[in-house]
Amino acid sequence: MDAAEDRDVKLQRASSDLVAEFSAKLPSLLWKSENGAPHRTPRTWTQESKAEKLVSLLEPFQEWPQLLDPHLQKLLPPLVDAFLAYLVKYRGQYSAKNARASQITAFYPLPRAICRLLYTFCKVRGAKVISRFLNNEPKYLESMLRAFIEWDSPRPSDTVDELPGSELQGMKWEERYVMLIWLSHLLLAPFDLSSLSSDDIPIPYDNLEQLGHIPSHTPVAAKSLLSLALYHINSPGKEREAVTALLARLVLRGDMQSLGLLNCLEGWAFASLLPADKAETPSVYSCIGILSFIARLAGSGQVEDLAPLLKSMFERILRVAQEKSDISATIQSSALAKKTVVKILRNVTVMALSLSERGDSRITDDQLSTILEDAIDHFLVSLADKDTPVRFAASKALSVITLKLEPEMGAEVIEAVIGSLGENILYEKDDGSLITPFEARKIGTHKLKRNLSAVDAQRWQGLMLTLSHLLFRRAPPLQQLPEILQSLVSGLNFEQRSSTGSSMGTGVRDAACFGIWALSRKYTTSELQALQQQVIPSFSGVNEVDVLQKLAVELVCSACIDPSGNIRRGASAALQELIGRHPNTITEGIPLVQAVDYHAVARRSRAMNDVAKASASLDLIYWGPLLEALTQWRGIGSPDAESRRQAAKSIGLLSTQQKFKTMKVVFERLLRRLPRIPRSDVEARHGCFLSIASTVDAYIREWEIAPELRDTPEVKDVSLQVTKLWDILASSLGPTDKDLTQQNSRPELTAEASARFIASLSQFTLSAGITLPSDALLDRSLEILSLCVSKNDDVSIETSSNALSALFPLLSPAKQEKTIQAWFSHLHASARLPTGRGQILALGAVFKQIERQNDLRNGIITELLRYAGKEELIEKRVTAVRCLATQILPHIVISTEIANNTLEFLNDYTTDRRGDVGSLIRVEAIQAVEVILKPGSGISTESETIQDLVGCLCRLASEKLDKVRLQAWCCLQGYWESSNLPPLQSKYEHFSQVSSEGYFAQLLTLYPIEWLRLPLLKGLATSAVAGSEGLVRATRSALIQFINSHKPVQRQAVLHTILQDLVTILTETIQDDRYAIPTVDFMAFVIDSYAIASSDKADPIFRKVFVIVQKSHLRSSNIARIEAAVQVYAALSRLESLRADTLRKLTGLLLHPFPRVRSSAADYVFIVTSSEVVKYENWSAQPKQLKETVEGLRGELIPTIS
């Protein structure tokens, strides 16, 4: 629901660092490092990784291209200079493969790396901006052209033979694109091409016959460029865009026009688009390329040059676009082709208007009239095109042409656009019924709300964009503004949904924001204030204000409530423009702009609650429309549930604007809205019930903080309104059993809304101390909640259990007992079935509402402990433990039995196909421990049970699972601060912090405490062996740091203590793979890190390790156990007293049945002995084939140490 965090803000902060890094790394990419050399030498090859790293530094600027502008003058010239230096010095070496390149490191030719970077600059900032920094000296035209021809179709060069293993490679598309852009830039040279062209420039392709007759004295450079252009204009890649610019610039040169190339290319283009009957239809890419070329001619050419061609060009392009033919079908299938046709028609029409203004005889009035009619008709049709780029282009074309027309004709075009917006519009009365425009005119359209459900959303976007472009160019006269404003405001509230549920109105609303922004910018305050107030239909409460204020109100509603982040920001920008351009016309204008900030509205939850509340608090003129908007499709009628929840929360906040006075208004509006919502509209009913509940909650808060107002008439009126809300449950407006059970009715939404509604009414009844509802209403409420609590989704069972907790005090003791017994029966019947979580949560929720002496409390505790046992499904067990921890233990004196049960939960490591699902139990049990450890819980802080619980916390706080480790640490941290443990040095509150070396170092300060040593080491072993790479590194580093913190003479004693504890742990858990394998592996690490040739005094502990490790993998087929033991044997082999025994075990494992074990043992035997026999033997062979080798190896190794 919420927009992502603002990336543009982050980019603005990081931009200077990105540019600095780019500037620092660029020279080494381009130039060889030659100290003392007077001239820099360009590289011939550069590493691909370095080039791509620089590209990645530029990519983020696509979000905000203008941030690069101040740096372009510094960043681009080095790239241009290096390319030209390579072009002059190494042009012939491009096609050779780099002889020094390895299979690991990939290399680019320097031009490819430069073109990758230049293309990225073009992608970020635009080719027009970047091309201004390209060198345009005419002397490089021929060199660039020759290089393009040679590199695009590589041939063996003299340097290739010198490089063994070299191979030919051509240019990539980025290189072609950049070099074609550069060639078109070089064609701006004011000299004839004949003076810049040599006679030996190759013509790369034999395709010039397509153009028919070309004058013989055409410069060879021109022929070569034409050949390149004709070949690449059919390309499906980006280079097609560059080659059309090159071709248009070539034929528009004066010297080329004098040769007749303009007419020649124009004839070729239309001959390709209008082929003979049996000619092959060009591909869609060819059509796009040719149309783009014509569009560039019409856009870049002078009117005088193209005047003779205008009429025929317009007729033929219209024929191409509209006739029924294969090529027309091809063009209609491409959005880019249709957009290009619109641009051609626009440019040709503008040229025709320019000729007519000059009185040029080459265009007659009749011809101009025909061109205008056909062009405008095509544009109006294109406004409803299915492709958005086409609608964008058509709207812009209409606005440009309308601005060029006479005022009377322009007004007719605008009238046609406005008339199109009026088609298929219905009007909505206060009761929600729809009427036709004819009926609406009898009542007064300004009093009714427009209903746009029957209009075409795509056409509306095109029409709205057209109006916006017209307003931006100040084309509409003042007398047409009222109708335009009505359309813009309608567009601001426009929404339709496709058959799949996706929004189709976002584009219309975005265009409306643009239109209001343009209107605010282009028209004066006096012009807008002169419009009648009835121009814009108003929400209630803002009828008597001018147009500017109504626009501000509409924009505030869109900025706060619209579901699209772009629209909220667009409305915020338009509001800022409106208030800034028309000062002192908007109520509380400056504070309003500060509240409806561009960045504040990015996150929808913040916009709907904080921003809407801040705006409404400025003046009631904003309060009423915001409330009205929240009760419509953008609020409680939103398609997603979270948006409806936030809308309900916002309505609750707005209801406190003027205390109980505004609450009364809110209740009246919601109660008017509820009967109008069809029962099938489950989403809107969900939002409406949530809003009523939120408003009731707001009433309870105000009731509690303002006791002096409780006897006022307003409070009594609202209290009466709320009391009557109970009747909804028994009326036709309330939820039915069908609504709560049938899956096609989305019962989870009805369950949540009903539970929230009943919970709020129950809390109101208790807080206000009013008369209880009738037994029938209470029974109905209980029935509804009983159905709600039977759902399986978390939201339904959580809200319904909370509602039962609020409702229970209103029930009689007999009813309470009957309800609880019914839940017990249901749970017994659904044992080991997925259902029942809701009833378990409900038992915990109502526990605190039952009298202390009631036996039901003990019954609930017994049942919850039973359902937390290992016989039940994990989901129900988690729910039961959560209830015990959060709902039961805080309200009772905790017994030793419950504490012992909690201890079992902390040691629950149940696994299934999902993995360690027991971690869910452990996380909930940690919350229970937090309650038990509090003073006054009923368990003595000096008892053995408390020590066991804290020991488990230490183990869990050092184990490998992040979520468990963090929860355990937070609980342990609270106990640590209030106990006599060593001083707490640092606090940790986040996942990343409890995976650091410092965190584990602090845990190891508890190691000297005897009753914490074993559980602490048990947890550390799992993190140091089985955790993630970073966790393993941090744990092991902390242990090394802990041992090294002792004096050198004490370290061996600390080591022996740690090993003794690990032996004890392994002895206790030798059958449990979860602890046995990490413990053995951890032993290997500790011994390998610190064991030295020891004295006799140290031998016993290492001997114990050797013996217990042998037992750990005795007759085991677990490869992980055996591999861990191999590591211990390898580490112990450094001790002289154990070397023979460990080598005997290692060589014995060389004959193990599992190849993986044999390979692992062989690796460590070689590390320990450096035996050549081990090094060259194939240990994947069968053991019987290896027996002789192993016996020989054992005879070689064992006697030498016996």
Structural contact between residues 447 and 537, judged by C-beta atoms closer than 8 angstroms: yes
Question: What pLDDT does residue 542 have?
Answer: 55
Question: What pLDDT does residue 940 have?
Answer: 79
Question: What pLDDT does residue 990 have?
Answer: 83
Q: Which amino acid is at 293?
A: F
**Exposed, middle or buried, 399 (CB in 10 Å: 0-12/13-18/19+)?**
buried
**Does one domain contain both 968 and 857?**
no
- Residue 629 inside a domain? The answer is no
Structural contact between residues 1044 and 997, judged by C-beta atoms closer than 8 angstroms: no
**Does one domain contain both 24 and 99?**
yes
Report the chain's C-alpha Rg in angstroms: 41
The whole-angstrom separation of Cα 975 and Cα 952 is: 13
**Residue 791 token pair:** 């759902």
State which residues form the domain around 992.
958-980+987-1034
**Does one domain contain both 967 and 1070?**
no
Q: How many structural domains compose the chain?
A: 4
The whole-angstrom separation of Cα 333 and Cα 413 is: 28
Structural contact between residues 1080 and 1066, judged by C-beta atoms closer than 8 angstroms: yes
- Which of residues 865, 899, 934 is at a domain's end? 934
- Residue 555 inside a domain? The answer is no
**Residue 1110 token pair:** 């042998």
- Residue 655 inside a domain? The answer is no
Instruction: Specify the pTM.
Output: 0.81
- Residue 284 inside a domain? The answer is no
Q: Which amino acid is at 497?
A: R
**Does one domain contain both 1094 and 1189?**
yes
For the chain, give the number of residues: 1202
Q: Which residues of the chain register pLDDT less than 70?
A: 1-12, 34-39, 96-105, 154-169, 277-278, 432, 446, 534-544, 1091-1098, 1199-1202
DSSP per-residue letters across 609-659? IIIHHHHHTT-HHHHHHHHHHHTSTTTTT-SSHHHHHHHHHHHHHHTTTTT
The whole-angstrom separation of Cα 385 and Cα 391 is: 6
**Exposed, middle or buried, 538 (CB in 10 Å: 0-12/13-18/19+)?**
buried
Q: HSE of 757 in the Cβ direction (CA atoms, 13 Å)?
A: 29
* DSSP code at position 607: I
- Within 10 A of 39 (CB to CB), how many other CB atoms are there? 6
If phi > 0 it is left, if psi is from -120 to 50 it is alpha, else beta; for residue 258 that is alpha
Structural contact between residues 682 and 744, judged by C-beta atoms closer than 8 angstroms: no
CA 397-399-401 angle, to 5 degrees, is: 70
Structural contact between residues 466 and 480, judged by C-beta atoms closer than 8 angstroms: no
**Does one domain contain both 929 and 962?**
no
Any idea what the CATH number is for the domain that residue 891 is in?
A: 1.25.40
Q: Which of 23, 11, 164 is nearest to 99 (CA)?
A: 164
**Does one domain contain both 1095 and 1017?**
no
**Does one domain contain both 895 and 930?**
yes
Sequence-distant (6+) residues with CB within 8 A of 250 are 184, 187, 222, 225, 226, 229, 256, 261
**Does one domain contain both 1100 and 1124?**
yes
**Does one domain contain both 49 and 16?**
yes
**Residue 176 token pair:** 């072609």
- Residue 76 inside a domain? The answer is yes
**Exposed, middle or buried, 496 (CB in 10 Å: 0-12/13-18/19+)?**
middle
- Residue 70 inside a domain? The answer is yes
- Which of residues 186, 205, 226 is at a domain's end? 186
- Residue 155 inside a domain? The answer is yes
**Does one domain contain both 1018 and 1127?**
no
3-state secondary structure of 1123: helix
How far lies 621's CA from each of 554, 624, 650, 762, in Å? Answer: 11, 6, 17, 34
**Does one domain contain both 905 and 847?**
yes
- Helices 139-152 & 72-89, crossing angle to 10 degrees? 70
- Residue 403 inside a domain? The answer is no
Question: What pLDDT does residue 35 have?
Answer: 62
pLDDT digits (tens, 9 = 90+) for 1049-1103: 888 888 889 999 999 999 999 998 889 999 999 999 998 887 664 444 557 888 9
Percentage of the chain lying above the pLDDT 90 cut:
52
The whole-angstrom separation of Cα 144 and Cα 183 is: 7
pLDDT digits (tens, 9 = 90+) for 117-133: 999 999 999 999 999 99
**Does one domain contain both 867 and 905?**
yes
